Amino acid sequence: MKLLALLLSLTLLVATHELGHLAFAKLFRTRVRRYYIFFNPWFSLFKAKKFGGRWHFRFFNARTPDSWNEDNLDPADRDNTLWGIGWLPFGGYCDIAGMVDETKSSSDLASEPQPWEYRSKPAWQRLCIISGGVLVNFLSALIIYACVFAHWGKDELPMRNAVYGFEYHQLLLDEGLQNGDIIYSIDGKEVYDTEKLSEIEGGARDAYICRKSDSGKGYLMVTTDMSNRKSRSWYNYGINLLRSDNLTDWKAKTFDFRKGSEIFCDPESPDVYKDWSTIKRVWAPQIFWDPNYIWADGIKGGYMIYYSMWNPDEEAYDRMYYSYADHSFTRLTKPRILFDWGYATIDADINYLESDGKYHMLIKKEGGHPGIFQTSSSNLTGPYPEPDEKDFVNFEGNKKCEGSSAFQIPDEEGWRVAYIQYSTNPKQYRICQTDKYLRNFHDPVTIKGVKAPQHGSFMRLTEKEYKKLEKWSEKKMKKANK
């Protein structure tokens, strides 16, 4: 089959190339004695010529009959071409009258030039004839690729189809990737189809996962709709709200904030921007169930989605905002300011602490004294005062940290805080400890075996859930290794 494909490809290549020469020669009334696909030493597989008002054919023929020679034909038939297929697939040729090529020398053209010969034509016509083959090959390539993209093409190239890998931005090289790498699965297991479920840019990052709180059944996840597949800029324009019944099959609703009021379920609410289309960043969303939130129709309970956002035409830095998602996790209210300390803040993580009955927020400050800090409020939506400048993740020195996520281990009074230390190569995923008030950060350790850590979250699994995921993973691994 491959040999047949090769022969067909060569036939197409040679045929179109020689047709280019022939077409221009005919256009300028230059006689083309022979047109051959493949070479024909000793004999031809096929040859044909029209004269005397009809076509004449020969198969597996070694010698052209004398009656076919142009000197023996009526003047009206002398410009007719002999068409042939050779047996040696190393090329082809057009025998153009009056042209000196590798089969002739200047002595073969001792007679005076004739009007129907190549050598009698103006220089620009000779240039067209001699360049016709290359020109037709170029046009053929354009047509072939246009047909391929029309039938199989997409607006973007899926990662799994990039067989030679990608050349990555320095930000991703710093994550541990190398040029030529292909990212389409983790240990052979596709996590979920980000290309399908992240409708803006086809990528995802900053995943936060939790259980459904209103029904107690099912799982929710929010992600940044990441620009690493399509535009490949460092701008991200929206978030994805995902839901699942089993942790392996997900459905999503994407919110592109550049579209403005039309994407939100409360169009009558005030807008935080005059022009939504100039938004450049919507980052790191997380979820907190608020049983006291009341919707316009009187239904109680909503999922607070909080995230950072930056619209450079209307604000000087990233600020923290929040919206509410309904029970279906498909409707979202307009953003509202969570707090503004006068400088950039991102990567918030809110937890309710029974130790003092307050909502404690971990936050990355990019202004003031940069780093991961903690603040608290008696209400979920604030106000959140500026944090204590002396109490932060200070044991990393000048190394940069972000993506904090707090969790508790059963029977422990204090908390654990995971974060990324991203200013070294490779980056490190670190976990430190705090007291029961999520203060006094201490005793950091590095998690081994994480090649390219990124912003994530923690959720406890039951033994049943773990075994189900393990079984699913083993099945995916077997399928990937076949």
pLDDT digit string, tens, across residues 277-306 = 999 999 999 999 999 999 999 999 999 999
Span of 165-169, 213-217, 309-313 with lowest mean pLDDT? 165-169
Please answer whether residues 277 and 258 qualify as being in contact, where contact means their C-beta atoms are separated by less than 8 angstroms: yes
Share above pLDDT 90 across residues of the chain, in percent, rounded to a whole number: 48
Q: Which of the four pLDDT bands, split at 50, 70 and 90, describes residue 335?
A: very high
In angstroms, rounded to a whole number, what is the distance separating the alpha carbons of residues 420 and 179? 23
Per-residue pLDDT at 222 exceeds 90 = yes
Q: Which pLDDT value is given to residue 175?
A: 59
- Contact at 8 Å (CB) between 219 and 244? yes
Contact 314, 275 (CB under 8 A): yes
Token pair, residue 42, equals: 């000793």
**pLDDT band at 89; cut points 50, 70, 90:** confident
| pLDDT above 90 for 152 | no
pLDDT of 1 above 80: no
Does residue 190 fall inside a structural domain? no
**Residues 257 and 402 grouped into a single domain:** yes
* Same domain (yes/no): 284, 398: yes
Asked whether the beta carbons of 427 and 174 are under 8 A apart, the reply is yes
- Asked if 429 and 445 sit in the same domain, the reply is yes
CATH number at residue 273: 2.115.10.20
Where is average pLDDT lowest: 38-52, 68-82, 180-194, 223-237? 180-194
Dist. CA 205–CA 227, nearest whole Å? 9
Reduced to 3 states (helix: H, G, I; strand: E, B; else coil), residue 319 is strand
Q: Is the pLDDT confidence value at 186 over 70?
A: no
Look at residue 191 and tell me if it is in a domain: no
pLDDT for 418 equals: 93
The lowest-confidence range among 136-145, 280-289, 340-349 is 136-145
Residues 270, 126 share a domain: no
Asked if the structure places residue 83 within a domain, the reply is yes
Residue range 226-245: mean pLDDT, rounded: 87
b/e sequence 215-245, b meaning 16+ C-beta within 10 Å: eeeebbbbbbbbbbbbeeeeebbbbbbbbbe
How far apart CA 319 and CA 335 sit, in angstroms, is: 11
> What six digits make up the tokens of 43?
């004999």
Domain assignment of residue 323, given as a range: 198-481
Rounded mean pLDDT of 94-109?
Answer: 70
Asked if residue 162 and residue 146 are part of one domain, the reply reads no
Residue 143 is which amino acid?
I
Predicted pLDDT of residue 359: 97
386 within some domain: yes
Whether the CB-CB separation of 176 and 427 falls below 8 Å is answered with: yes
In a domain, 438, yes or no: yes
pLDDT band at 189 (very low <50, low <70, confident <90, very high): very low
Q: Are 255 and 241 in contact (CB under 8 A)?
A: yes
With bands split at pLDDT 50, 70 and 90, how would you rate the model's confidence at 110? low
The answer on 473 and 377 residing in a single domain is: yes
Q: Looking at residue 102, what is its pLDDT?
A: 56
Closest CA to 390 of 440, 443, 445, 444: 440
Structural domains in the chain (count): 3
430, 446 Cβ separation under 8 angstroms: yes
Q: Is the pLDDT of residue 15 over 80?
A: yes
- Assess if residue 193 is contained within a domain: no
The 8-class DSSP code of residue 236 comes to B
Specify whether 110 is located in the same domain as 224: no
Instruction: Say whether both 137 and 277 belong to one domain.
Output: no
Please state, in angstroms and rounded to a whole number, the distance separating the CA atoms of residues 309 and 321: 7
- Per-residue confidence band for 149, with pLDDT thresholds at 50, 70 and 90: confident
Structural domain contains residue 471: yes
Residue 157 pLDDT > 70, yes or no? no
Residues 122 and 162 in one domain: no
Q: What is the mean pLDDT of the chain?
A: 86
Q: How confident is the model at residue 481 (pLDDT cuts 50, 70, 90)?
A: low
Residue 15 near residue 90 (C-beta atoms within 8 A): no
- Pick the closest to residue 273 from 334, 341, 345, 340 (CA basis): 334
Q: Round the CA-based radius of gyration of the chain to a whole number and report it.
A: 36
- Torsion over CA of 470, 471, 477 and 478, rounded to 10 degrees? 160
In a domain, 93, yes or no: yes
pLDDT at 480 exceeding the cut of 50? yes
List the structure tokens of 462. Answer: 């039951």
Q: Note whether 142 and 164 are same-domain residues.
A: no
Q: State the Cα–Cα distance between residues 117 and 30, nearest whole angstrom.
A: 6
Structure-token pair, residue 15: 């045929």
Inter-residue contact 306 to 285 (CB < 8 Å): yes
Residues 238 and 166 in one domain: no
pLDDT at 453 over 80: no
**134 and 209, same domain (yes or no):** no
